[in-house]
Every structure is written in structure tokens, then in C-alpha cells.
Chain A
């Protein structure tokens, strides 16, 4: 064989491919033996190269991710409320918005969530995608405390040729079934693609990975941190009086995700208005309308997606036609012969008495297997719930159970704990155990429970992302004290980056990152646009909620899923040299 034919085979042979006849050639050819030796020398040289170490980039990457609650899917639960006496109606007085009632909504939602133990209703959804292109759905929701939910949406009309967008989500406590169309990136594509069905067993109670759509029952996560929402004229929906409030989409995500988490729905812009009407007595959302707002960012966002949404009428609407607070069908996960189950790893177990005693009945106790096994207890009263996780072997880095990133240290009788940005969880790190106390109840209630724990709650180790140790050294810019709306900033160093977390009222949170660098890297958001910030040209990426610019050898970013670009620029302008 000629050397030119053999050399490619030698190269392939070194990579483990079959190379017949090569050995024979090599025996008689010094040049080709040299070639083989050169390939091996090259390999060693490259391998030595590769032994350099890289710092852990995970914290920096996590700091740059869009901050959004996981959009899981709920199982159906049905329940009915035993007849409550309907409150006195103010006859003839329901023509206009009632700001007093509206102001009471957030508090009433938090307090009233234990009042709904069963719910059963039918509703209609209208989805306007483009002028002349509309889809309609018949929906059914059923709930029974503690955690059985059935949400079924059946498309009743829409353009021909598109995948049918009917979805089903049934959660029956530790089992759940989700079904829907193939997740298609375009409305008119994916022809013939199979719909999906996902069965989960061993589901942990009040799971955040596969959450039940409980905000459709009482929208606790929407109203937890809002105060004084503007009032809307009241309506009568499905024969029930309903109070109206105006919110914006970014605040309403938990409710929108509960309804639209499964299926191929049109997108909703974070700044769009959402009008929600809640049953006056039980605070169940009976009506919802999403409307476009004016704005350059929004216009560009809509143009890129082919949406033409007038501001005057809703492009998404939900309206109940019937509702009852008692009775309804049983909620069951019905498994098909072909269903393969995903095991989430939770098993009821006799794990002993919990270290806290909430004033609600205990509904679950067991072990959750995972990277680190943990004990889980759950309590529930109506739609309200509390959960405690305890791990004995958690090594970090990062607080056990912290999925949201931004936390604030808090003082506990036993030391230091950490509060999640939206107040829905408290994390505790101790020498021999790590705990997460979470729930749908108010932060004050969780705090009272955390304070009753006899645990030496320690500050996290310096190398965990939540650590506040070792800050303020070599910090380039700090936040001016006159920036209003946020608590004292928490600063830490992550590798060569300086990260400042701001936590504000409600669940407004922003993360400021400063890293050495001269210029911005290419953007990954097709909607990114140039903005003027601090006398230079920066970039705003709407889908990441990220404002970035470079100054004096440092690349600075301000990221938040809740704040508008104007507010991000306000924060940017509040940065100053110490």
C-alpha cells in the first residue's frame, strides 16, 4: 500500500477505528512509523495543554439566568365548599371600582386561602393570536384539599392545520399526569408530531418542580407581595359577585403559568396588563383578561412575533360559566397501559415527629430521594400549605433547596437564617442539618415557625453563592444610599466578579454583577437593543431582563425579571465609586 493511502488509516486507527493492512505496512515503512509516533506526540502535547484548571463558573452563570419560578403543571383536585352564607350585597352600588375592597384583596387572599377546600367549575378561554386568528377552549377545573387538582382545557375552535392545543393536568397528591400537544416552536408547524404524556409517581407534597396549579384556586403567589392593586369595576360572573383588580403580567406569572404552563400558547409580554376578577367570598379567580400596553420594547417584541394586539381589547380571556364550592367528580390519575412513569423519589415514611408544629393538620410525612435524601413533612388547611424539608448530609455549595437565587440574611433566635426574595421560604444551614421551611402562608407565619426551631442556624460558608463574607474588597462600584425601594444591598465576591443583590418591596429583586472586561460579548437575545446608560452605550436584552454596559475596564450588568428597563437604568445610575 502506498503511504498516502495508509496515513489516513493510521489517523483513524489511533482513534479506535478498524484499519486493516496498516500493521503490515508499518512493519516495512519507517516514514509511516514516524507519522504514527508524531500523532502520538501531538496527542500527548494536547493532553498536557488540557490539564489547566477552570474556576467554577456555575455561580456566575446562575446569576445571569432569567429569574422565574419553575412553570410546572398541576393535577386536578376537586373540592366543594360547604355552603357559606353569601355576604350582604350592596344593591345598586356595584357600578364602579371599589378601591377599598381592592386594597383588601391581597390580605384577604392570604388569610382566606384556608377557606377553600373544594372547587369545581367550567370556564371558557379565548386566545387571540392575530386579527382573524383566534382559538377558543372549554375548560374544567376541580380541586380538593390538600392537593388534588384537575385542569382540563379542550380546544373548541381554531385555524385548521395547527396542532390541537388541548391540555390536561391532573395531580392526585403523589401522582400526576400531564398531557398536551408536542411542544412546537411555531403555531403552524410540527405537523404529525406526537402529543406528549408524562406520568409522575412518587411526587413530593407541594412540589416546586411539578407544582399543582393552586393559584387557579386561590392566587396566593400572585398577591403575596402586592399591595394596593388598582381597582376595577366589579362584575357578576357565573352568578357570583367578583371584585376586579388590575395587575401586570410579570406579577401575575404564577397564575398565568398555572393556566398556560402546558401547551403551545401565544406569549404574554411582562409589562402587559392583567385584569383579574376574584369571587368576593372565596377569592377564586373567576375572570381574567390580558391586554397589551403601549411601549417601544413591547412593539418590537410583538413585531418580531407577528402579534398585532390592540390596547383596547384583551388578547387572552378567561371567564367562568359555572362554579360550585362543594361536590364535583373524584380526581384521579388514570394511567394508560403504555404510560412510562417518572419517579420523583418521594415515599411516605415514618420519619418521626417534625421539629415545628404549625396550626394546621399534617397531611404528609416521608423521605425524598435525590442527590441528597431528605425528610419532608407537609401540613395543609384548605388551599393553604406549609412544608418542611430536612437534609442531614447536604454539603453545598449553596443553600439546600434554594432555587431562586436571591436571599436576604435574617436574624433568628438560634443565629442566621435566609429569606427567599418573595418571602415564601426560609432556609437554615446548621452544622448537622439543612432545613427549608416553605409554604403558601405569609412570611410572618413562616418566620414565627422558623423562630420556634431549636437549631443553631449558621451563616453559610464563604464559598457558597449566598455568602456575604469577604465582600467590599476591590469593589468597583457600590449602590448609592439614596436609591429608594430596596433594602440594604448584599455584596459578595464570586471568583473575580462582584455581585450585589438588591431586594425590594414585593418580590422586586435585582442582581448587579461587575466583572473585569473591556466590552460586551455578542448578545443572545434577538430582541436586544442599544440603550444609553451612564454616558455610554449599553445593551438591554428584554427576554433576560438584563441591562449591560462596560465602563473603565469593568463589564457591569443589572438583571431582574420584575423591573422595567427604566428601573434598571435608575439602579445603574445609582452606582458610584465608594
Chain B
């Protein structure tokens, strides 16, 4: 992901809504994709994407160019996502990690099952996996977003993949049996 011009970030921090809109447009698709998988619900992901950028706007003056801007935006998005999960869990009392699937937008049955599989990952594994697999981030960037050591990122991605692959294989076996 290309870093935005520092002047754009400073302009947005100073209140220039045109500059801020440019930043939103540069990152909204990736943030939504990440949240969509993290939350397992495209409509909720849209809401939390909006909330993420509102938080970004309110906190922009505290961004001091010590990390990549994309890393910072994703950590805001990830925190907003985790807050939404906790809030939803409090309301619905579902086991942590299970997302009610509200969308059957297009896609083959296969995609619904992959979503379910991703939803059954614990949030810690899910977020590391999504940042690497969906956002294409390197391990050291993910370490920056999640504030964990690189070795932990590597381990969580591996465990997420093992879990999802086992799920995919069981899926195939079931299909074969039918």
C-alpha cells in the first residue's frame, strides 16, 4: 500500500476535509475488506469502516509519523473491529468468534463456508491471518499493527492456516460422501 504524502496527512489533521476525503478513498476498500472478514458481516463491516475513519479524523493530530500511516489506520480499524465484536457478544451472548452470517451476496456456496471457517478462528488468529492474507502485509507490518512480536505473527498465521486447511479438507470429504 502506497504511503500518502505527509502534506496530505497534515492537511487533513488541520481540518482540510478534501484532504481527509482523499485519505478515506485511499484506504476505505482495504479497511472494509479486512473488517468484513474480521466481523464476518459485510453490513456491519461498512458501519465499522465508517466509525474507523471518524476515529481516524478525531485522532489524526496524534499521528506523528513514527509508523507507516497504513499501519496506524489498520490498528485503528482493528481496535474498532474488536470493540464491535465485544459489543455484539455482550448483546447476543454468542461464543466469541462466531459471527452470524447475514449476507448471502452472490458467490458460490464455497465462499459461505470459507467465511464460516474464518469466523471460527479465534480473533487473535483471524486478525493476523487477514492482515497477511487479505491485506498482503509483511510480518513486520502486522507486528506494528497488532503490537506483537514478529515471531508471534508467524506462529498465529501458521495456526490459522492449519485450522482453515483442516476445515477445507473436511468440507471436501463431506462433499465426496454425499
- Contact between B14 and A58 (Cβ–Cβ < 8 Å)? no
* A535 CB, nearest partner CB in chain B, Å: 22
> Are A58 and B18 CB-contacts (below 8 A) given A49-B111, A65-B57?
no
Interface size band for A:
35 or more
What's the least CB distance linking A39 to chain B, in Å? 6
**If the complex has contacts A38-B165, A54-B29, A57-B49, are A11 and B15 also in contact, measured as CB distance less than 8 A?**
no
A49 touches B37 (CB 8 A): yes
Shortest Cβ distance from A342 into B: residue: B7
Task: Evaluate whether A209 and B54 lie within 8 angstroms (CB atoms) in the complex, with A15-B139, A38-B165, A52-B105 already known.
Answer: no
Return chain A residues, CB-CB under 8 Å to B58: 66, 524, 543
Contact size range, B: 35 or more
Indicate if the CB atoms of B134 and A50 lie closer than 8 Å. yes
Please, what's the 1-or-0 string for B14-44, where 1 marks a CB less than 8 Å from any CB in chain A? 1111101110110011001100110000100
Per the bound structure, the CA–CA distance linking A208 and B19 in Å amounts to: 13
Q: Which residues of A contact B96 (CB under 8 A)?
A: none
Contacts of B57 in A (CB 8 A): 61, 65
| Pair count A-B, CB < 8 A | 142
Q: Is B68's CB within 8 Å of the partner chain A?
A: no
Chain-B contact segment, one of A67-75, A268-276, A316-324, A568-576: A67-75
Kindly state whether residue A529 has any CB partner on chain B within 8 Å.
no
List which A160-218 residues lie within 8 A (CB) of chain B.
Answer: 183, 185, 208-210
With both beta carbons as reference points, the residue of chain B lying nearest to A525 in the complex is identified as B58
Note all chain B residues with C-beta closer than 8 A to A50: 33, 134
Are A58 and B25 also in contact (CB < 8 A) when A15-B138, A50-B134, A65-B57 are? yes
Cross-chain contact A60 with B87 (CB below 8 angstroms): no
CB-based contact A65/B132 at 8 Å: no
Query: Nearest-CB distance from B168 to chain A (Å)?
Result: 7
* A209 B161 Cβ-Cβ under 8 A: no
Q: Which residues of B contact A56 (CB under 8 A)?
A: 25, 28
| B66 lies within 8 A of chain A by Cβ | no
Most buried by A among B62, B83, B165: B165
Report if A64 contacts B (CB, 8 A). Answer: yes
The 7 residue pairs across chains A and B that have the minimum distance between CB atoms: A70-B15, A11-B158, A38-B165, A58-B24, A8-B158, A522-B87, A61-B53
List 12 additional A-B contacts (Cβ < 8 Å) besides A52-B33, A344-B7.
A11-B157, A12-B139, A12-B158, A15-B154, A38-B169, A43-B133, A46-B133, A46-B134, A49-B37, A57-B49, A342-B6, A403-B18
